[in-house]
Structure 1
Amino acid sequence: MSKRKGLSVEEKKKKMLEIFHESLDFYQLKELEKIAPKQKGVIAQSVKDVIQSLVDDGLVDTDKIGTSVYYWSYPSKTRKSKERLLEQKKNQLQECKKKLKATSDAVEKAKIGREENEQRRCILKELSEGKSILEELRAEMRKYQGKDPKTMKLLKEQTQIAMDAANRWIDNIFILKHWCVNRFNIEEEKLNKEFGIDPDLDYIK
């Protein structure tokens, strides 16, 4: 025969509230530890933690009179707490909706004037071509390592020219990005994504 499954935390909290709401009385912890197992099946060892949790949730009131601590709760207390929580969640939802709309409006505004255009395509194309040429020259240099000094010098000069050209285009991209960020108040990350710019783009060394 299987053992009876114990109550969950939420079930224990519900049972403890029933003690207060059914009796409409005040209790000390020791009294609750005796009543809860008999009336509601809540083990005495867990009563203290459950009561404290209900106090933290604002569902049970407590006060110290002399050296004794008393606990109480009325049905209206629970209802008002739930109504306050519901109102709080509604306000949070409204704030989230406002922030979402403001963000959407900002994104749409930032897109104005940054549509796909020929200038952008040309810059990216020339940058890509410059990188390709640079890689070809570097591959050629590796083939001639330790050979004709004149050829090596020429290849180094051509490589430097290609590198300088590529870096100029990279510099142009950085300048345009900086202008767009300041002009349209958009985050750099969104700008990179919108125009297909590699976020790790950097000068070639």
Structure 2
Amino acid sequence: MVSMEPVGTASLISLLAHFFGIKSKRKGLSFEEKRTRLADFFYETKDFWLLKDIEKIASKQKGIVVQSIKEVLESLVSDNIVTVEKIGTSNYYWSFPSTAVQNRKRRIAELGEELANVEAKRQELDSALAQRKNGREETEERIALMERLKEAEAINRNLLAELETFKDSDPVLVAAKENAIVLAKNAVNRWTENIFALQSYCSQTFGIPPQQFAEQFNIPDDFDSV
């Protein structure tokens, strides 16, 4: 009797597929592969095509799924690889090898122009940067001037601090304080007179003695105008 080794699941599936002639699915084409194949279709046929014919024939010849033909074709038109022209009521598509070469040359020229513009801009920025740096070299004279500037800034800070200490002697501030004192004194006397008037009113109207009124509202004995 022949001994049987245990077979893994993957090996068993592979064995059954081989036995029954089942072919594994091929990996689908990438979008870029579809673009390349569809472009080759135009280069090889060198003819003018309607969309419906492209979907019918190119899908079979190049193995591209019919549903994706239109999207791939539009991307080729957008990149100027395939030309489209409306003739009557129909759109015709074509692309010849010579057209592809011309498109590549034009694209190379465009990229070259963009590169030249970028390089010119870079040189302009380098020149501007060099000009701004000019005169800022760390020479002995510049170092000495920077030191003098720092000293002047320090002296300025010290003078401002010293000036702050004399603020109380400023005639303008003194006059403002005196005016504020007068206003405060007048306000105190005005409220004092109001309290005395209220005390007199309560005494005459309700018969409340002045002493009782003062005790009720915590008014000190020496309460008077200033």
Q: Could you tell me the TM-score, scaled by structure 1's length? A: 0.58
Counterparts of 1:88-103 in structure 2 under 5 Å? 88-103=110-125
- Aligned partner of 1:54 in structure 2 is 76
Corresponding residue for residue 131 of structure 2: 109
1:126: Cα distance to partner? 6.2
In structure 2, distance between residues paired with 1:69 and 1:23: 18
Query: Residues 109 and 44 (structure 1 numbering): CA distance in 2 closer, same or farther, change over 3 Å?
Result: same
Change over 3 Å in CA distance of 1:8–1:122 after alignment to 2: farther
- The answer on whether the counterparts of 1:29 and 1:70 sit within 8 Å (CA) in structure 2 is yes
Q: Deviations over 1:58-88 (max 9, x none)?
A: 1111122222221111001111111111111
> What residue in structure 2 maps to residue 45 of structure 1?
67
The higher-RCO structure (CA 8 Å, 6+ apart) is 1
TM-score (norm 2): 0.53
Which of 110-119 and 38-47 deviates more? 110-119
Structure-2 residue corresponding to 1:123: 149
**Structure 2, unaligned runs of 5 or more:** 1-13, 15-23, 168-226
Q: Distance in 1 between matches of 2:58 and 2:77?
A: 17
The alignment's C-alpha RMSD in Å is 3.1
Instruction: For residue 124 of structure 1, report the CA deviation from its aligned partner.
Output: 4.5
Counterpart residue type for residue 61 of structure 1? T
Deviation at 1:129, TM superposition (A): 9.2
CA contact (8 A) 1:58 1:81 kept: yes
The answer to whether the 8 A contact 1:37-1:43 is kept is yes
Q: CA deviation at 1:57?
A: 1.0
Whole-angstrom CA distance in 2 between matches of 1:94 and 1:86: 12
Q: Does 1:4 align with 2:43?
A: no
Following the alignment from structure 1 to structure 2, what is the Cα–Cα distance between the partners of residues 47 and 83?
Answer: 26
**Counterparts of 1:10-25 in structure 2 under 5 Å?**
10-25=32-47
Larger radius of gyration: 2
8 Å CA contact 1:36, 1:43 repeated in 2:
no
Matches within 5 A, 1:24-43: 24-43=46-65
Segments of structure 1 that go 5 or more residues without pairing to the other structure are: 134-153, 161-205
1:115 to partner: Cα distance: 2.6
User: Which whole-Å CA distance do the structure 1 matches of 2:32 and 2:130 have between them?
Assistant: 46
Distance 1:7 1:98 in 2: 42
CA 1:122/1:55 → structure 2, altered by over 3 Å: closer, same or farther?
same
